[in-house]
Amino acid sequence: MKTTQLMSAAALTAATGFAASGAQADELTLCWAAWDPANALIELSKDFEAESGHSMSFEFVPWPNFADRMLNELNSGGKLCDLMIGDSQWIGLGAEAGHYVKLNDFFEAEGISMDDFIPATVTGYSEWPKGTPNYWALPAFGDVVGWTYRKDWFEMPEHQAEFKETYGRDLKAPETLAELKDIAEFFQGREIDGKTVYGAAIYTERGSEGITMGVTNALYNYGFEYGNPENPYELEGYVNSPEAAEGLEYYKALYDCCTPPGSSDWYMSANIDAYKSGQVALQMNFAFIWPGVNADPNVGGDKSGYFPNPKGPGGHFAQLGGQGISVVSYSDSQDAALEYIKWFAQPEIQSKWWELGGYSALKAVVEDPGFATSQPYAQTFLDSMAIVKDFWAEPAYASLLLAMQDHVHSYVIAGEGTAQEALDALVEDWTEVFEDEGKI
């Protein structure tokens, strides 16, 4: 038995080229969230195992627990993860706390250029400090908040006629936030196929990041800024501008008028369930859900359509999601982990990643002439990635996020105080965080 095992190992080593190089096969653990794209990555990674001789294992954690679980792992210097697909907002912490391996020298040695990736994903997933050529991750999964709608409901002649009579325009995918609210109000409480339906499923979740990832899609488009462009930690008058308060009021109005009963703590999975079960006409969610919607037997195919987050009176932006893939500095298999990143960056692998349901950030994939028509949602993905804006990626990101979750949820969902008061309080909390960090 031992002889057979040794012979098999020798054959594997020779076949994969490790005998010549003197390298050894490692077992790598890749850590990410538990969601549909992770399943696609398992399938994709089988090619890496076959080519490299390394074996892959995966640690996937549901989104509501993902940040706590993985940030605790990093902060404790744990060795569970060799590769981490960490959220975009973690990049500052990963860099400054020494959790991630800086990849500049590796990229240069292997001919991997960040110019080959969608610029927003490089800024969002890889750079720290922002705007500098210091890279701590390879863009792994491009994602952005967009909208799904019941195209079949929109196209019903009776709906078309009634909407046109009421609003003076055709019932179609909205271009502005005001139009979106009109559509949500139109469908709220309507009976379709003998069932009462509702306008929109939006992000309202309090415990992790949900309502922040939702409300920013209104705030940005009314004029909210994270700070003075000339002085990044000058918050007063930017975070809490009158225009930003109007954006927060809009989001509350959308929640109050047009969401299903009991939707005060909803995030990605709850919105998916509401949409697929036929409860809502519109669904806010990250683009990762679109392959699953398109394939769904109840709402898939021509029954659903997709559109970017609509513009507002102060701009046109959408909340960036997505992640980069990093090598964890505490890993004992950093060389093998870097091999994985080199393999993953190849255009043919990125193309297959898209085919399997992953969202490639490689220009060679998304700028291919056939990309926009390769899936019903492909053009919406491109349009959405062109208008992205992201939350803070500071090392103190968690404290910044908790403060926003608290103040925004208290106003939008609990109805406490005014929008201006909520944002004023947020400025106070964020200022305190940055003072503690020595940033101001």
If you write DSSP's letter for every residue of 40-70 in order, what string do you get? HHHHHHHHHHHHH--EEEEEEE-HHHHHHHH
Asked, for residue 423, whether it belongs to a domain, the answer is no
Asked, for residue 5, whether it belongs to a domain, the answer is no
pLDDT given for residue 119 in this prediction: 96
The residue from 279, 301, 319 where one domain ends is 319
Asked, for residue 369, whether it belongs to a domain, the answer is yes
Domain shared by 284 and 371, yes or no:
no
Domain shared by 273 and 184, yes or no:
yes
Asked, for residue 415, whether it belongs to a domain, the answer is no
| CA-wise closest residue to 422 among 248, 166, 177 | 248
Q: What are phi and psi of 316, to 5 degrees?
A: -140, 100
Domain shared by 313 and 327, yes or no:
no
Q: Write down the mean pLDDT value for the chain.
A: 94
List, for residues 106-131, the tens digit of each pLDDT value: 999 999 999 999 999 999 999 999 99
CATH value at residue 307? 3.40.190.10
Domain shared by 160 and 276, yes or no:
yes
Number of domains in the chain: 2
List, for residues 26-43, the tens digit of each pLDDT value: 999 999 999 999 999 999
If you write DSSP's letter for every residue of 366-416 in order, what string do you get? HTSTTTTTTSTTHHHHHHHHTTEE----STTHHHHHHHHHHHHHHHHTT--
What percentage of residues in the chain have a pLDDT greater than 70? 95
Domain shared by 136 and 171, yes or no:
no
The residue from 287, 304, 319 where one domain ends is 319
Would you report the helix, strand and coil content of the chain in percent, each value rounded to 5?
50, 15, 35
Task: Give the ranges where 76-123 is alpha helix by DSSP (H).
Answer: 91-96, 104-110, 119-121
Task: Return the DSSP state at 309.
Answer: P
Domain shared by 308 and 164, yes or no:
yes
List, for residues 164-212, the tens digit of each pLDDT value: 999 999 999 999 999 999 999 999 999 999 999 999 999 999 999 999 9
Domain shared by 246 and 197, yes or no:
yes
Residue 114: domain span? 27-142+321-389
Task: Give the ranges where 259-320 is alpha helix by DSSP (H).
Answer: 268-276, 290-295
The residue from 294, 319, 344 where one domain ends is 319
Domain shared by 304 and 161, yes or no:
yes
Domain shared by 280 and 231, yes or no:
yes
